[in-house]
Structure 1
Protein backbone atom coordinates (compact mmCIF):
# COMPACT_ATOMS: atom_id res chain seq x y z
CA UNK A 1 0.00 0.00 0.00
CA UNK A 2 1.31 3.45 -0.91
CA UNK A 3 2.50 5.57 2.01
CA UNK A 4 0.36 8.69 2.52
CA UNK A 5 2.61 11.76 2.73
CA UNK A 6 1.74 15.17 4.16
CA UNK A 7 3.90 18.22 3.49
CA UNK A 8 3.81 21.12 5.92
CA UNK A 9 5.22 24.57 5.25
CA UNK A 10 3.64 24.29 1.82
CA UNK A 11 3.75 28.03 1.24
CA UNK A 12 7.55 28.04 1.16
CA UNK A 13 10.05 27.16 -1.55
CA UNK A 14 10.96 23.78 -0.10
CA UNK A 15 7.34 22.80 0.46
CA UNK A 16 6.57 23.15 -3.22
CA UNK A 17 9.67 21.22 -4.31
CA UNK A 18 8.69 18.46 -1.89
CA UNK A 19 5.33 18.28 -3.69
CA UNK A 20 7.15 17.64 -6.96
CA UNK A 21 9.21 14.86 -5.37
CA UNK A 22 6.09 13.36 -3.76
CA UNK A 23 4.32 13.37 -7.11
CA UNK A 24 7.25 11.52 -8.70
CA UNK A 25 7.12 8.90 -5.92
CA UNK A 26 3.37 8.62 -6.45
CA UNK A 27 3.92 7.85 -10.12
CA UNK A 28 6.30 5.08 -9.08
CA UNK A 29 3.64 3.65 -6.77
CA UNK A 30 5.69 4.13 -3.59
CA UNK A 31 3.75 6.96 -2.02
CA UNK A 32 0.63 9.10 -2.22
CA UNK A 33 0.72 12.88 -1.78
CA UNK A 34 -2.23 13.16 0.60
CA UNK A 35 -2.02 16.55 2.38
CA UNK A 36 -0.56 20.04 1.95
CA UNK A 37 -0.45 22.18 5.08
CA UNK A 38 0.22 25.89 5.58
CA UNK A 39 0.20 28.20 8.60
CA UNK A 40 -3.21 29.14 10.03
CA UNK A 41 -4.80 32.04 8.23
CA UNK A 42 -2.72 31.67 5.06
CA UNK A 43 -4.31 32.95 1.87
CA UNK A 44 -3.46 29.57 0.29
CA UNK A 45 -6.00 27.65 2.37
CA UNK A 46 -8.46 25.91 0.07
CA UNK A 47 -6.35 26.34 -3.05
CA UNK A 48 -5.41 23.35 -5.19
CA UNK A 49 -2.05 22.06 -3.92
CA UNK A 50 -0.87 20.84 -7.30
CA UNK A 51 -1.68 24.13 -8.96
CA UNK A 52 0.12 26.12 -6.24
CA UNK A 53 3.19 23.88 -6.53
CA UNK A 54 3.22 24.13 -10.32
CA UNK A 55 2.81 20.39 -10.86
CA UNK A 56 -0.72 20.46 -12.25
CA UNK A 57 -4.11 20.42 -10.56
CA UNK A 58 -4.55 17.34 -8.36
CA UNK A 59 -7.77 18.09 -6.48
CA UNK A 60 -5.98 18.27 -3.13
CA UNK A 61 -7.13 21.30 -1.14
CA UNK A 62 -4.53 23.02 1.04
CA UNK A 63 -5.37 22.99 4.78
CA UNK A 64 -3.98 24.90 7.75
CA UNK A 65 -3.74 22.27 10.52
CA UNK A 66 -2.53 18.72 11.05
CA UNK A 67 -5.99 17.79 12.35
CA UNK A 68 -7.43 18.31 8.88
CA UNK A 69 -4.80 16.19 7.14
CA UNK A 70 -4.90 12.47 6.34
CA UNK A 71 -1.39 11.02 6.35
CA UNK A 72 1.02 8.31 7.52
CA UNK A 73 4.20 10.42 7.49
CA UNK A 74 4.62 14.19 7.85
CA UNK A 75 7.52 15.90 6.06
CA UNK A 76 8.55 19.10 7.85
CA UNK A 77 11.03 21.69 6.52
CA UNK A 78 9.71 24.73 8.40
CA UNK A 79 11.07 26.57 11.46
CA UNK A 80 12.27 25.28 14.84
CA UNK A 81 9.18 26.54 16.67
CA UNK A 82 6.72 25.08 14.16
CA UNK A 83 8.62 21.79 13.97
CA UNK A 84 8.60 21.36 17.74
CA UNK A 85 4.82 21.68 17.79
CA UNK A 86 4.42 19.34 14.81
CA UNK A 87 6.75 16.70 16.29
CA UNK A 88 4.83 16.76 19.58
CA UNK A 89 1.53 16.39 17.71
CA UNK A 90 2.85 13.45 15.67
CA UNK A 91 4.17 11.74 18.80
CA UNK A 92 0.78 12.13 20.49
CA UNK A 93 -1.12 10.78 17.48
CA UNK A 94 1.19 7.98 16.37
CA UNK A 95 2.27 9.61 13.10
CA UNK A 96 5.80 9.29 11.72
CA UNK A 97 7.70 12.50 10.94
CA UNK A 98 10.63 13.41 8.67
CA UNK A 99 12.37 16.63 9.76
CA UNK A 100 14.68 18.72 7.62
CA UNK A 101 14.34 21.93 9.62
CA UNK A 102 17.62 23.55 10.73
CA UNK A 103 18.49 26.29 13.21
CA UNK A 104 17.58 24.45 16.42
CA UNK A 105 19.42 25.46 19.57
CA UNK A 106 20.64 22.52 21.73
CA UNK A 107 17.56 22.58 23.98
CA UNK A 108 15.16 22.69 21.04
CA UNK A 109 17.00 19.88 19.28
CA UNK A 110 16.79 17.64 22.34
CA UNK A 111 13.09 18.42 22.71
CA UNK A 112 12.46 17.69 19.04
CA UNK A 113 14.33 14.38 19.11
CA UNK A 114 12.42 13.27 22.21
CA UNK A 115 9.38 12.71 19.97
CA UNK A 116 11.27 9.68 18.67
CA UNK A 117 10.55 7.96 21.99
CA UNK A 118 6.92 7.60 20.91
CA UNK A 119 6.90 7.62 17.11
CA UNK A 120 9.27 7.02 14.17
CA UNK A 121 11.30 10.20 13.61
CA UNK A 122 13.94 10.82 10.96
CA UNK A 123 15.97 14.01 11.38
CA UNK A 124 18.76 15.13 9.06
CA UNK A 125 20.35 18.48 8.35
CA UNK A 126 20.61 17.39 4.71
CA UNK A 127 18.65 14.68 2.91
CA UNK A 128 20.67 14.50 -0.30
CA UNK A 129 22.36 11.19 -1.04
CA UNK A 130 25.58 12.97 -1.98
CA UNK A 131 25.92 14.90 1.28
CA UNK A 132 25.33 11.79 3.36
CA UNK A 133 27.97 9.96 1.37
CA UNK A 134 30.26 12.91 2.11
CA UNK A 135 29.71 12.35 5.84
CA UNK A 136 31.23 8.87 5.44
CA UNK A 137 34.11 10.25 3.37
CA UNK A 138 34.78 12.86 6.06
CA UNK A 139 34.93 10.18 8.74
CA UNK A 140 37.51 8.29 6.68
CA UNK A 141 39.58 11.41 5.97
CA UNK A 142 39.58 12.49 9.62
CA UNK A 143 40.53 9.01 10.80
CA UNK A 144 43.41 8.67 8.32
CA UNK A 145 44.75 12.22 8.58
CA UNK A 146 44.25 12.45 12.32
CA UNK A 147 45.80 15.45 14.00
CA UNK A 148 48.28 16.17 11.22
CA UNK A 149 46.08 18.62 9.33
CA UNK A 150 44.18 21.88 9.79
CA UNK A 151 40.47 21.57 9.04
CA UNK A 152 38.31 24.31 7.52
CA UNK A 153 34.67 24.20 6.37
CA UNK A 154 33.28 26.73 3.90
CA UNK A 155 29.58 26.83 2.98
CA UNK A 156 27.54 29.01 0.62
CA UNK A 157 23.77 29.46 0.34
CA UNK A 158 21.21 31.84 -1.18
CA UNK A 159 20.50 35.25 0.30
CA UNK A 160 17.26 34.09 1.97
CA UNK A 161 18.79 31.50 4.30
CA UNK A 162 18.30 32.68 7.88
CA UNK A 163 20.71 30.49 9.89
CA UNK A 164 24.50 30.31 9.76
CA UNK A 165 26.55 28.23 9.54
CA UNK A 166 24.25 25.85 7.72
CA UNK A 167 23.01 22.78 9.53
CA UNK A 168 24.90 20.67 7.00
CA UNK A 169 28.18 22.46 7.74
CA UNK A 170 27.67 21.94 11.46
CA UNK A 171 26.91 18.25 10.88
CA UNK A 172 30.11 17.93 8.86
CA UNK A 173 32.00 19.51 11.75
CA UNK A 174 30.35 17.16 14.23
CA UNK A 175 31.29 14.10 12.14
CA UNK A 176 34.92 15.20 12.02
CA UNK A 177 35.09 16.23 15.68
CA UNK A 178 33.52 12.97 16.85
CA UNK A 179 35.97 10.96 14.75
CA UNK A 180 38.91 12.88 16.27
CA UNK A 181 37.56 12.74 19.83
CA UNK A 182 37.00 16.49 20.02
CA UNK A 183 34.05 18.50 21.36
CA UNK A 184 32.87 20.72 18.50
CA UNK A 185 31.35 23.25 20.88
CA UNK A 186 34.85 23.86 22.25
CA UNK A 187 36.95 23.74 19.07
CA UNK A 188 34.72 25.45 16.49
CA UNK A 189 35.85 28.86 15.22
CA UNK A 190 33.17 30.85 13.39
CA UNK A 191 34.98 33.39 11.25
CA UNK A 192 38.16 35.34 11.99
CA UNK A 193 38.98 39.01 12.23
CA UNK A 194 41.87 41.12 13.47
CA UNK A 195 44.99 39.82 15.22
CA UNK A 196 43.92 36.23 15.78
CA UNK A 197 47.36 34.76 16.41
CA UNK A 198 48.66 31.50 15.02
CA UNK A 199 46.09 28.84 14.22
CA UNK A 200 45.42 26.20 16.88
CA UNK A 201 45.47 22.81 15.13
CA UNK A 202 42.71 21.48 17.39
CA UNK A 203 40.24 24.02 16.02
CA UNK A 204 37.76 23.45 13.19
CA UNK A 205 37.07 26.61 11.22
CA UNK A 206 33.77 27.65 9.64
CA UNK A 207 33.22 30.32 7.00
CA UNK A 208 29.84 31.37 5.60
CA UNK A 209 28.87 32.90 2.25
CA UNK A 210 25.35 34.24 1.57
CA UNK A 211 24.14 35.60 -1.75
CA UNK A 212 22.21 35.14 -4.95
CA UNK A 213 20.33 31.91 -5.55
CA UNK A 214 22.98 29.40 -4.44
CA UNK A 215 21.13 26.21 -3.48
CA UNK A 216 23.92 24.87 -1.29
CA UNK A 217 27.68 24.33 -1.51
CA UNK A 218 29.99 22.83 1.11
CA UNK A 219 33.74 22.28 1.00
CA UNK A 220 35.79 20.72 3.77
CA UNK A 221 39.55 21.23 3.46
CA UNK A 222 42.16 19.12 5.24
CA UNK A 223 45.30 21.24 4.99
CA UNK A 224 48.75 19.78 5.64
CA UNK A 225 52.22 21.03 4.86
CA UNK A 226 52.74 20.33 1.16
CA UNK A 227 49.27 19.10 0.25
CA UNK A 228 45.57 19.77 0.67
CA UNK A 229 42.59 17.44 0.43
CA UNK A 230 39.14 18.88 -0.31
CA UNK A 231 35.79 17.15 -0.13
CA UNK A 232 33.09 19.19 -1.86
CA UNK A 233 29.37 18.84 -2.44
CA UNK A 234 27.39 21.23 -4.66
CA UNK A 235 23.62 21.11 -4.98
CA UNK A 236 22.12 22.60 -8.14
CA UNK A 237 18.48 21.89 -7.30
CA UNK A 238 16.40 21.52 -4.14
CA UNK A 239 14.99 18.37 -5.70
CA UNK A 240 18.08 16.56 -4.43
CA UNK A 241 16.94 17.25 -0.87
CA UNK A 242 13.25 16.70 -1.58
CA UNK A 243 13.72 13.30 -3.21
CA UNK A 244 15.82 12.20 -0.27
CA UNK A 245 13.17 13.35 2.20
CA UNK A 246 10.44 11.46 0.35
CA UNK A 247 12.66 8.38 0.21
CA UNK A 248 13.19 8.71 3.98
CA UNK A 249 9.44 9.02 4.56
CA UNK A 250 8.67 5.82 2.66
CA UNK A 251 11.46 4.02 4.54
CA UNK A 252 10.34 5.43 7.90
CA UNK A 253 6.76 4.21 7.45
CA UNK A 254 7.94 0.64 8.06
CA UNK A 255 10.03 1.37 11.15
CA UNK A 256 9.15 1.25 14.86
CA UNK A 257 9.31 4.30 17.11
CA UNK A 258 12.85 5.64 17.33
CA UNK A 259 15.27 8.30 16.17
CA UNK A 260 16.79 7.84 12.72
CA UNK A 261 18.76 9.88 10.20
CA UNK A 262 19.43 9.79 6.47
CA UNK A 263 22.45 7.57 6.86
CA UNK A 264 20.14 4.96 8.41
CA UNK A 265 17.88 5.29 5.38
CA UNK A 266 20.82 4.79 3.00
CA UNK A 267 22.38 2.00 5.11
CA UNK A 268 25.62 3.99 5.32
CA UNK A 269 26.26 3.29 8.99
Structure 2
Protein backbone atom coordinates (compact mmCIF):
# COMPACT_ATOMS: atom_id res chain seq x y z
CA UNK A 1 0.00 0.00 0.00
CA UNK A 2 1.21 3.51 -0.86
CA UNK A 3 1.45 5.40 2.46
CA UNK A 4 0.44 8.64 0.71
CA UNK A 5 -2.72 7.07 -0.72
CA UNK A 6 -5.76 7.56 1.51
CA UNK A 7 -8.11 4.68 2.23
CA UNK A 8 -11.42 5.28 0.46
CA UNK A 9 -14.74 4.08 1.84
CA UNK A 10 -16.67 2.87 -1.20
CA UNK A 11 -20.31 1.94 -1.83
CA UNK A 12 -21.53 -0.07 -4.82
CA UNK A 13 -24.89 0.35 -6.54
CA UNK A 14 -26.44 -2.75 -8.10
CA UNK A 15 -24.47 -4.82 -5.61
CA UNK A 16 -25.98 -8.21 -6.45
CA UNK A 17 -25.62 -7.87 -10.23
CA UNK A 18 -22.74 -9.15 -12.36
CA UNK A 19 -20.91 -5.83 -12.43
CA UNK A 20 -21.70 -5.10 -8.79
CA UNK A 21 -20.17 -8.38 -7.65
CA UNK A 22 -17.10 -7.80 -9.79
CA UNK A 23 -16.66 -4.38 -8.17
CA UNK A 24 -17.12 -5.76 -4.66
CA UNK A 25 -14.54 -8.48 -5.30
CA UNK A 26 -12.06 -5.88 -6.63
CA UNK A 27 -12.62 -3.57 -3.66
CA UNK A 28 -12.05 -6.41 -1.23
CA UNK A 29 -8.73 -7.19 -2.95
CA UNK A 30 -7.56 -3.56 -2.85
CA UNK A 31 -5.50 -2.51 0.16
CA UNK A 32 -6.43 1.18 -0.17
CA UNK A 33 -10.23 0.74 -0.18
CA UNK A 34 -12.92 -0.70 2.03
CA UNK A 35 -16.46 -1.70 1.11
CA UNK A 36 -18.69 0.60 3.17
CA UNK A 37 -22.08 0.28 1.45
CA UNK A 38 -24.00 -2.01 -0.90
CA UNK A 39 -27.18 -0.89 -2.66
CA UNK A 40 -29.75 -2.73 -4.75
CA UNK A 41 -33.38 -2.58 -5.83
CA UNK A 42 -36.07 -3.43 -3.23
CA UNK A 43 -37.09 -6.41 -5.39
CA UNK A 44 -33.64 -7.99 -5.27
CA UNK A 45 -33.59 -11.32 -3.39
CA UNK A 46 -30.16 -10.30 -2.07
CA UNK A 47 -31.58 -7.53 0.14
CA UNK A 48 -30.44 -8.08 3.73
CA UNK A 49 -27.67 -10.51 2.85
CA UNK A 50 -23.98 -9.80 3.38
CA UNK A 51 -22.51 -8.10 0.31
CA UNK A 52 -19.55 -10.49 0.13
CA UNK A 53 -21.44 -13.70 0.92
CA UNK A 54 -20.91 -14.87 -2.67
CA UNK A 55 -17.16 -14.84 -1.93
CA UNK A 56 -17.58 -16.95 1.18
CA UNK A 57 -16.56 -14.01 3.32
CA UNK A 58 -18.51 -11.87 5.79
CA UNK A 59 -17.89 -8.15 5.34
CA UNK A 60 -20.50 -6.94 7.81
CA UNK A 61 -21.99 -4.79 5.04
CA UNK A 62 -25.58 -5.78 4.25
CA UNK A 63 -27.14 -5.13 0.84
CA UNK A 64 -29.90 -2.58 1.31
CA UNK A 65 -32.49 -0.71 -0.74
CA UNK A 66 -32.19 2.28 1.60
CA UNK A 67 -29.97 4.71 -0.30
CA UNK A 68 -29.17 6.95 2.64
CA UNK A 69 -28.28 3.96 4.79
CA UNK A 70 -25.96 2.63 2.09
CA UNK A 71 -24.19 5.99 1.80
CA UNK A 72 -23.58 6.66 5.48
CA UNK A 73 -19.90 7.48 5.99
CA UNK A 74 -19.12 6.73 2.34
CA UNK A 75 -16.54 8.66 0.28
CA UNK A 76 -17.42 7.39 -3.21
CA UNK A 77 -20.37 5.59 -4.82
CA UNK A 78 -19.62 3.44 -7.87
CA UNK A 79 -22.74 3.31 -10.05
CA UNK A 80 -23.26 1.02 -13.06
CA UNK A 81 -27.08 0.99 -13.13
CA UNK A 82 -29.69 2.76 -15.29
CA UNK A 83 -29.96 6.50 -16.02
CA UNK A 84 -33.04 7.07 -13.84
CA UNK A 85 -31.51 5.23 -10.90
CA UNK A 86 -28.16 6.98 -11.26
CA UNK A 87 -29.81 10.41 -11.27
CA UNK A 88 -31.73 9.54 -8.10
CA UNK A 89 -28.47 8.39 -6.49
CA UNK A 90 -26.80 11.60 -7.70
CA UNK A 91 -29.29 13.76 -5.83
CA UNK A 92 -28.68 12.02 -2.51
CA UNK A 93 -24.92 11.87 -3.07
CA UNK A 94 -24.95 15.65 -3.48
CA UNK A 95 -26.85 16.07 -0.23
CA UNK A 96 -24.41 13.81 1.66
CA UNK A 97 -21.20 15.01 0.00
CA UNK A 98 -20.45 11.66 -1.65
CA UNK A 99 -18.37 11.65 -4.82
CA UNK A 100 -19.34 9.35 -7.69
CA UNK A 101 -17.84 7.07 -10.30
CA UNK A 102 -20.53 6.66 -12.97
CA UNK A 103 -20.31 3.89 -15.55
CA UNK A 104 -24.00 3.99 -16.45
CA UNK A 105 -24.77 4.59 -20.15
CA UNK A 106 -27.80 5.81 -22.08
CA UNK A 107 -28.06 9.33 -20.64
CA UNK A 108 -29.76 12.08 -22.63
CA UNK A 109 -27.94 15.37 -23.20
CA UNK A 110 -30.12 17.00 -20.54
CA UNK A 111 -29.26 14.28 -18.04
CA UNK A 112 -25.54 14.65 -18.80
CA UNK A 113 -25.87 18.38 -18.17
CA UNK A 114 -27.52 17.65 -14.83
CA UNK A 115 -24.59 15.45 -13.82
CA UNK A 116 -22.05 18.06 -14.95
CA UNK A 117 -23.83 20.72 -12.88
CA UNK A 118 -23.70 18.48 -9.80
CA UNK A 119 -19.95 17.99 -10.31
CA UNK A 120 -19.40 21.66 -9.53
CA UNK A 121 -20.10 20.75 -5.89
CA UNK A 122 -18.68 17.23 -5.56
CA UNK A 123 -16.30 15.47 -7.94
CA UNK A 124 -17.58 12.93 -10.45
CA UNK A 125 -15.78 10.61 -12.86
CA UNK A 126 -18.14 9.56 -15.64
CA UNK A 127 -17.18 7.40 -18.60
CA UNK A 128 -19.18 5.04 -20.81
CA UNK A 129 -16.40 2.50 -20.39
CA UNK A 130 -14.06 2.33 -17.39
CA UNK A 131 -11.65 -0.11 -19.05
CA UNK A 132 -8.08 1.17 -19.16
CA UNK A 133 -7.61 -0.57 -22.51
CA UNK A 134 -10.71 1.00 -24.02
CA UNK A 135 -9.61 4.46 -23.00
CA UNK A 136 -6.15 3.95 -24.47
CA UNK A 137 -7.98 2.80 -27.62
CA UNK A 138 -9.94 6.07 -27.60
CA UNK A 139 -6.65 7.96 -27.57
CA UNK A 140 -5.40 5.90 -30.52
CA UNK A 141 -8.63 6.66 -32.38
CA UNK A 142 -8.13 10.37 -31.81
CA UNK A 143 -4.64 10.14 -33.31
CA UNK A 144 -5.80 7.98 -36.23
CA UNK A 145 -8.73 10.26 -37.09
CA UNK A 146 -6.46 13.30 -37.34
CA UNK A 147 -4.00 11.46 -39.58
CA UNK A 148 -6.73 9.86 -41.74
CA UNK A 149 -8.99 12.89 -42.06
CA UNK A 150 -9.13 12.72 -45.85
CA UNK A 151 -9.96 9.75 -48.06
CA UNK A 152 -11.10 7.29 -45.40
CA UNK A 153 -14.64 6.19 -44.58
CA UNK A 154 -15.23 5.55 -40.87
CA UNK A 155 -17.43 2.81 -39.45
CA UNK A 156 -17.91 1.77 -35.80
CA UNK A 157 -18.96 -1.85 -35.22
CA UNK A 158 -19.88 -3.05 -31.72
CA UNK A 159 -21.10 -6.33 -30.26
CA UNK A 160 -22.55 -7.06 -26.81
CA UNK A 161 -24.51 -9.73 -24.95
CA UNK A 162 -28.19 -10.31 -25.56
CA UNK A 163 -29.24 -8.58 -22.32
CA UNK A 164 -27.86 -5.14 -23.18
CA UNK A 165 -30.76 -2.69 -23.48
CA UNK A 166 -29.22 0.34 -25.23
CA UNK A 167 -27.76 0.61 -28.73
CA UNK A 168 -25.31 1.67 -29.94
CA UNK A 169 -23.29 1.07 -26.80
CA UNK A 170 -22.08 4.03 -24.80
CA UNK A 171 -18.53 3.03 -25.70
CA UNK A 172 -19.31 3.02 -29.42
CA UNK A 173 -20.89 6.46 -29.13
CA UNK A 174 -17.86 7.72 -27.21
CA UNK A 175 -15.63 6.40 -29.98
CA UNK A 176 -17.74 8.28 -32.49
CA UNK A 177 -17.56 11.46 -30.41
CA UNK A 178 -13.77 11.26 -30.08
CA UNK A 179 -13.38 10.74 -33.83
CA UNK A 180 -15.84 13.49 -34.73
CA UNK A 181 -14.14 15.95 -32.37
CA UNK A 182 -10.75 15.13 -33.89
CA UNK A 183 -12.21 15.85 -37.34
CA UNK A 184 -13.87 19.09 -36.24
CA UNK A 185 -17.37 17.65 -36.66
CA UNK A 186 -20.40 17.20 -34.41
CA UNK A 187 -21.42 13.56 -34.09
CA UNK A 188 -25.09 14.58 -33.97
CA UNK A 189 -24.75 15.88 -37.52
CA UNK A 190 -22.67 13.11 -39.07
CA UNK A 191 -23.71 9.85 -37.37
CA UNK A 192 -25.59 7.21 -39.39
CA UNK A 193 -27.20 4.54 -37.22
CA UNK A 194 -29.17 2.51 -39.77
CA UNK A 195 -29.07 1.60 -43.45
CA UNK A 196 -31.80 -0.20 -45.35
CA UNK A 197 -33.02 -0.25 -48.91
CA UNK A 198 -31.63 2.03 -51.60
CA UNK A 199 -29.46 4.37 -49.55
CA UNK A 200 -27.41 5.94 -52.34
CA UNK A 201 -23.66 6.37 -52.22
CA UNK A 202 -21.99 6.77 -48.88
CA UNK A 203 -21.51 10.36 -47.71
CA UNK A 204 -17.77 10.58 -46.92
CA UNK A 205 -18.40 13.00 -44.05
CA UNK A 206 -20.51 10.50 -42.08
CA UNK A 207 -19.56 8.09 -39.30
CA UNK A 208 -21.50 4.83 -39.50
CA UNK A 209 -22.53 2.58 -36.63
CA UNK A 210 -23.39 -1.13 -36.67
CA UNK A 211 -24.76 -3.02 -33.66
CA UNK A 212 -24.64 -6.75 -32.89
CA UNK A 213 -26.42 -8.35 -29.92
CA UNK A 214 -26.07 -12.00 -28.98
CA UNK A 215 -25.04 -14.61 -26.47
CA UNK A 216 -22.72 -13.58 -23.66
CA UNK A 217 -20.38 -11.21 -25.55
CA UNK A 218 -18.91 -8.92 -22.90
CA UNK A 219 -18.03 -6.15 -25.34
CA UNK A 220 -16.26 -5.93 -28.72
CA UNK A 221 -15.60 -2.65 -30.52
CA UNK A 222 -13.93 -2.09 -33.88
CA UNK A 223 -13.42 1.16 -35.76
CA UNK A 224 -12.79 0.72 -39.46
CA UNK A 225 -10.98 3.41 -41.46
CA UNK A 226 -11.61 2.26 -45.06
CA UNK A 227 -9.53 3.95 -47.73
CA UNK A 228 -8.73 3.20 -51.36
CA UNK A 229 -6.31 0.27 -51.45
CA UNK A 230 -6.10 -0.19 -47.70
CA UNK A 231 -8.11 -0.29 -44.52
CA UNK A 232 -7.11 0.16 -40.91
CA UNK A 233 -8.99 -1.53 -38.07
CA UNK A 234 -8.56 -0.55 -34.43
CA UNK A 235 -10.19 -3.14 -32.18
CA UNK A 236 -10.73 -3.67 -28.48
CA UNK A 237 -12.26 -6.89 -27.11
CA UNK A 238 -13.30 -7.50 -23.52
CA UNK A 239 -13.33 -11.06 -22.24
CA UNK A 240 -14.22 -10.16 -18.64
CA UNK A 241 -15.80 -7.32 -16.69
CA UNK A 242 -12.73 -7.34 -14.46
CA UNK A 243 -11.17 -4.63 -16.59
CA UNK A 244 -14.16 -2.35 -15.91
CA UNK A 245 -13.83 -2.94 -12.18
CA UNK A 246 -10.10 -2.21 -12.12
CA UNK A 247 -10.61 0.98 -14.11
CA UNK A 248 -13.34 2.03 -11.68
CA UNK A 249 -10.96 1.58 -8.76
CA UNK A 250 -8.42 3.80 -10.50
CA UNK A 251 -11.17 6.40 -10.79
CA UNK A 252 -11.88 6.11 -7.05
CA UNK A 253 -8.18 6.69 -6.31
CA UNK A 254 -8.22 9.74 -8.60
CA UNK A 255 -11.23 11.20 -6.79
CA UNK A 256 -9.41 10.95 -3.46
CA UNK A 257 -7.39 13.97 -4.63
CA UNK A 258 -10.16 15.95 -6.33
CA UNK A 259 -13.00 17.38 -4.20
CA UNK A 260 -15.01 18.75 -7.12
CA UNK A 261 -15.10 18.79 -10.90
CA UNK A 262 -16.32 16.73 -13.85
CA UNK A 263 -13.78 14.15 -15.04
CA UNK A 264 -13.53 11.16 -17.35
CA UNK A 265 -11.05 8.32 -17.76
CA UNK A 266 -8.74 10.45 -19.90
CA UNK A 267 -8.24 12.58 -16.78
CA UNK A 268 -7.82 9.53 -14.56
CA UNK A 269 -5.21 7.96 -16.88
CA UNK A 270 -3.38 11.19 -17.78
CA UNK A 271 -4.36 10.95 -21.44
CA UNK A 272 -5.75 14.46 -21.71
CA UNK A 273 -3.86 16.47 -24.34
Structure 1 length-normalised TM = 0.95
Q: Is the deviation greater in 178-187 or in 57-66?
A: 57-66
Specify which of 260, 263, 268 is matched with residue 263 of structure 2. Answer: 260
> Helix, strand or coil: the match of 2:198?
coil
1:1-269 aligned at under 5 Å gives the runs: 1-25=6-30, 29-52=31-54, 54=55, 56-69=57-70, 70=72, 71-269=74-272
- Superposition deviation, residue 56 in structure 1: 2.9
Residue deviations 1:143-177 (CA, integer Å, cap 9, x gap): 11112200000000000000000000000000000
> Helix, strand or coil: the match of 1:193?
coil
Residue deviations 1:217-269 (CA, integer Å, cap 9, x gap): 00001010000011000000001001111110121122021100011111011
- Superposition deviation, residue 122 in structure 1: 0.4
Q: Is the deviation greater in 240-249 or in 85-94?
A: 85-94
> Helix, strand or coil: the match of 2:34?
strand
Report the RMSD for the aligned CA atoms in angstroms: 1.2
> Helix, strand or coil: the match of 1:49?
coil
CA distance in 2, matches of 1:41, 1:250: 32
* Aligned residue pairs, count: 265
Any conservation in 1 of the 2:68–2:92 contact (CA below 8 Å)? no
CA distance in 1, matches of 2:59, 2:99: 24
> Helix, strand or coil: the match of 1:268?
coil
Structure 2 length-normalised TM = 0.94
Segments of structure 2 that go 5 or more residues without pairing to the other structure are 1-5
Q: Is the deviation greater in 95-104 or in 9-18?
A: 9-18
Any conservation in 2 of the 1:119–1:256 contact (CA below 8 Å)? yes
Residue deviations 1:38-74 (CA, integer Å, cap 9, x gap): 123533221011014x353322211212211231100
> Helix, strand or coil: the match of 1:117?
coil
Q: Is the deviation greater in 38-47 or in 116-125?
A: 38-47
> Helix, strand or coil: the match of 2:243?
helix
- Superposition deviation, residue 37 in structure 1: 0.7
Segments of structure 1 that go 5 or more residues without pairing to the other structure are none
